[in-house]
Amino acid sequence: MMGNVPARVEPVRPPRWVYIRFPRGAMFGEPGNRTKQRRVLEETLEAAKTIQEPGGKVEMPYRWEGKPISFRGREITEGP
């Protein structure tokens, strides 16, 4: 599972998850940024192998590099 808000993910107790600091709705990165989308996907799938303990988490180092996303009067580059 992927998530961008640990406080919302952790109570659900997923078997394993990756924490990605991208805005809501764009968990794989900026539109058209195929290189980043692929890297996030590949590392997420790798985490399925490397996480050996129930509830384990991998934190991704990537940050949003596009324009902030406008949503309900806010400009978002991370989380909800």
Partner 1 sequence: MVAVSPKADVSWVQGFREKWREWFQGAKPLLEAHQGPAAFKTYPFVSFSQTPWSPLRIPLSEVCLAVVSTAGLYRKGIDAPFADTAEGDPRVIQLPSNIDPKSLDTAHTHIPQEPIRADVNVALPFDPLRDLVKEKKVGSLALRFFSFVGYQTRADKVALEMAPNIAAAMVEDEVTLALIVPV
**Ramachandran region, residue 58 (left: φ > 0; alpha: ψ -120 to 50; beta: rest):** beta
* 2 counts as binding partner 1 under rule CB under 8 A: yes
CB neighbour list of residue 78: distance below 8 Å, 6 or more residues apart? 4, 21, 22, 23, 63, 64
How many residues touch partner 1 under the rule CB under 8 A: the total is 36
* 6 counts as binding partner 1 under rule CB under 8 A: no
Site for partner 1 in 12-71 (CB under 8 A): 12-15, 23-32, 34, 37-38, 40-42, 44-46, 48-49, 52, 54-55, 69-71
Q: Which two tokens stand for residue 61?
A: 């180092």
The contact set with partner 1 (CB under 8 A) reads 1-3, 11-15, 23-32, 34, 37-38, 40-42, 44-46, 48-49, 52, 54-55, 69-71, 76
